Amino acid sequence: MSRNKTVLIVDDEVINRTILKEAFDSTYTIIEAANGNEAIDALKHGADDIGAVLLDLLMPVADGFTVLDFMKLTHLDTDIPVVVVTSDDTEFVQKKLKEYKISDILNKPFLPMVISRRTKSLINLYADKRRDIERLRNDNEKLKKENYELKERLKTYEKTLKRIEKNFM
């Protein structure tokens, strides 16, 4: 599976998962979870493959906040965009969601085309972010190596300079 082409859909309602699944064309692999525990299992076993999570909040067994807590604890929230899809737009929920690194909140009922477009944009944005981070790491390693080499050359020059000074004194 490709991270940029895999979406985890977490909702206890089959109809919502079906609508969300159909919003993505066949180029996306869809993983479905009917509750928070199934979502956490999917993240534990396949986080490297998941490009985005569409997450309902109100579910039996384990709710969306349980998934968000897990993602926060494991730092997956910085690497996988989360789109909360919920019918609960109360002030309490809106305030609680500020505790988490979520990428977007969409209220039910939703337009599948909007969710699809936003999620695809987020997947691409996070893929660009990962590429930029990798490029920066590589650049950093190159600079460390060049810095080490320059320090070694400087040591050689300093030794040479001391020998020259010693010969002139």
How does pLDDT run across 127-169, given as a tens digit for each residue? 899 899 999 999 999 999 999 999 999 999 998 998 888 888 7
Q: How confident is residue 3, by pLDDT bands cut at 50, 70 and 90?
A: low
Q: Work out the number of other CB atoms within 10 angstroms of the CB of residue 78.
A: 12
Round to whole Å and give the CA distance between 54 and 9: 5
Domains annotated on the chain, with CATH: 3-131 (3.40.50.2300)
Q: How confident is residue 40, by pLDDT bands cut at 50, 70 and 90?
A: very high
pLDDT at residue 163, as a whole number: 87
The structure tokens listed for 146 are 């060049």
- What value does the mean pLDDT take over residues 54-65? 95
* pLDDT over 70, % of the chain: 98
pLDDT at residue 19, as a whole number: 92
Strand order in the sheet with 82-86: 29-33, 6-10, 52-55, 82-86, 104-107
Instruction: HSE, CB side, 13 Å, CA atoms: give it for residue 25.
Output: 3
Radius of gyration of the chain (CA): 24
- Comparing C-alpha atoms, which of 121, 156, 161 is closest to residue 7? 121
pLDDT at residue 85, as a whole number: 93
Instruction: Read off the pLDDT of residues 72-114 as tens digits, 9 standing for 90 and up.
Output: 999 999 999 999 999 888 899 989 999 999 999 998 888 888 9
Given a cut of 90, is residue 25 above it in pLDDT?
no
Instruction: Read off the pLDDT of residues 123-134 as tens digits, 9 standing for 90 and up.
Output: 999 989 989 999
pLDDT at residue 111, as a whole number: 86
pLDDT at residue 89, as a whole number: 83
Round to whole Å and give the CA distance between 13 and 29: 19
- Comparing C-alpha atoms, which of 48, 63, 50, 87 is closest to residue 12? 63
Given a cut of 60, is residue 1 above it in pLDDT?
no
